[in-house]
Amino acid sequence: MNKRIVVVLSILAVVVGTPPVSPAGPKNDGRPDGGTLGYGEYGRPSTLDPITSNEMVSLRITELVFNGLVGIDEKQEIVPELAERWEASKDSRTYTFFLRKDVMWHPREGEEAKPFTADDVVFTYKIMMHPKTTTPLKVRYEFIESVEKLGDYGVQFTLKRPILNALAKFSFKVIPKHGPSHPLYLTREDPFVRHPIGTGPFVVKTITTDREIVLVANENYFKGRPHINRFISKPFADQNIMTQALMFNAIDMVVLVNPRDIPELQGDKRFVLQPYNALSYAFFGYNVRSPLLADKRVRQAFAYAVNRQEVLDSFFNGQGTLVSGPFAPGSWAYNLDVRPLPFDPQKAVALLRQAGFAPGPDGTLQKDGKKLTLSLKVPIEKESEAVKRVVLAFQNYLKNIGVAIKVEFKEWQAWKESVFQEHDFDIVFASWVFDDSADISSLFHSAEIGAWKNNFGGYSNPEVDGLIVESKLTLDHEKRRTINRKLHTILAEEAPYTFLWTLTNYSGYHKKLRRVAIHPYKFFSFADEWFIPAADQK
């Protein structure tokens, strides 16, 4: 399940702050510098820059190498990063950022380090929005009308319309003007995407022949040199080995421990198991274009037929929570008053009867001579045995109420094509990862139906469309909350998905690592503060 479809948007809280400007150099916080951290990753990222990449693996690396104008701290509050302070106009349509003057880009080999200026910010925005640039970010920034440079260390953004939490959106990572080889757009062919330079705490040093990515501490990091000398990202093709590698000290950290390895690490005093919330949930998504699934009673019946708590307990050691609706659990938009549907196969059968289905000669339900047989498409992944368990259990539960599910395992690319492009499926099993828990417009708005759009099930409901737009436009947080709670209730009832669960993510690491704080989504945001006591540095 680590190949998730990522809905990238952003997070809450508007705080304007003026930070103390600390000089580059050591942090002088009394904690030791030195040591190496090797961490296991799920495969190897195809790109390492923040613009073209769309995988969790790359996202974690870019968090070490780059900075945004603003950052989001452990308490989910906006903090200054490349911008030391900012101002918003009264009508909330212009945002002016005043940049730090002590930030240097990582030097390329044999070159002097170049200073970070307003030109880089303007350049990043322009390259991000260029039609030829390969990036999932464009839709996130369409609310910006223009950007203007105010001297070398000032940038002003003008918005098309005021939006709620605009400031959080300026956490996009800034890339250097002298970085990409093409001055106007960035594609995956540009050498920059494989050997990027940023302003962040770590510098991409080499990619070894074993596909390990070696990052070294940036001595001139503007928040002070990070404590740990080197980060090494080690790709694992087979996740079974990753926990073993940790236990045998081949690596020091696993970013996402396989649920079934949790008891093993829990019992071992050498390691720390740290939970973090990933704002994600798993679901069965239905193609409502199918005449069999167009009736919401059928979709509701499926939700009643599956004992989700049993699946969660048996396959994931109960490390998670059932969800009832479309918002990321744990976010302010999630409506706790809507309870997850209970396991009730009798009710499921009754609902299917109401929808006009009756048992046929072979026990499979049918209506007007048409059997209730549906295809469930699942991407084949070598490490996806948890996925396999869930879909086979689902198939089994539905068999018990007389529904035949044909599970089809497909290669990842072929799966994406049949789901997102051809819409040739009845049911899919997938999960969404959010970084803005409140924005579900790309999932359920009818304007998002079409090839390669996120509303792949073709769900369309004018009431939902209206509420989504209203929620996007409102500037009143309380009102937005009320709208989202209503959306949650409606979508839970309409069941375009069977909402399953959110899993508690665990990172496992050697206890020599200290002061480890983990960002729920970007993971390494606070890694410059991590350290290894001198005695453990080897």
Q: Which residues bind another protein (CB under 8 A)?
A: 240-241, 243-244, 260-261, 264, 310-311, 313-315, 380-382, 385, 388-389, 392-393, 395-396, 407-411, 414
State in angstroms the smallest separation of the CB of 268 from another protein: 13
Q: How far apart are the first and last CA of the chain?
A: 35
Nearer to another protein, 385 or 536 (CB): 385
Nearer to another protein, 88 or 380 (CB): 380
State in angstroms the smallest separation of the CB of 374 from another protein: 15
d(CA 51, CA 406): 38
What's the longest Cα–Cα distance across the chain?
79
Nearer to another protein, 222 or 315 (CB): 315
Beta-strand ranges (E) seen in 103-257 are 144-149, 154-159, 202-207, 213-217, 230-236, 253-254
Measured in whole angstroms, the distance separating CA 341 from the mean position of its chain's CA atoms is 26
Nearer to another protein, 181 or 314 (CB): 314
Nearer to another protein, 209 or 413 (CB): 413
State in angstroms the smallest separation of the CB of 355 from another protein: 26
Question: Distances from the Cα of 142 to the Cαs of 91, 169, 187, in angstroms?
Answer: 19, 11, 20
Nearer to another protein, 115 or 263 (CB): 263
State in angstroms the smallest separation of the CB of 366 from another protein: 22
Nearer to another protein, 216 or 282 (CB): 282
State in angstroms the smallest separation of the CB of 503 from another protein: 17
d(CA 67, CA 52): 16
Nearer to another protein, 388 or 510 (CB): 388
State in angstroms the smallest separation of the CB of 5 from another protein: 20
State in angstroms the smallest separation of the CB of 121 from another protein: 44
By three-state DSSP, how is residue 98 classified? strand
Give me the amino acid identity at 345.
P
Cβ atoms of residues 271 and 246 within 8 Å: yes
Q: Is 146 exposed, middle or buried (0-12, 13-18, 19+ CB in 10 A)?
A: exposed
By three-state DSSP, how is residue 523 classified? strand
d(CA 199, CA 65): 6
Cβ atoms of residues 128 and 141 within 8 Å: yes
Q: Is 131 exposed, middle or buried (0-12, 13-18, 19+ CB in 10 A)?
A: exposed
Task: Tell me the residue length of the chain.
Answer: 538
d(CA 120, CA 199): 11
State in angstroms the smallest separation of the CB of 500 from another protein: 16
State in angstroms the smallest separation of the CB of 376 from another protein: 11
d(CA 454, CA 8): 12
Nearer to another protein, 262 or 298 (CB): 262
Give the residue carrying structure tokens 């390329």: 108
State in angstroms the smallest separation of the CB of 386 from another protein: 9
Nearer to another protein, 261 or 439 (CB): 261
d(CA 261, CA 316): 10
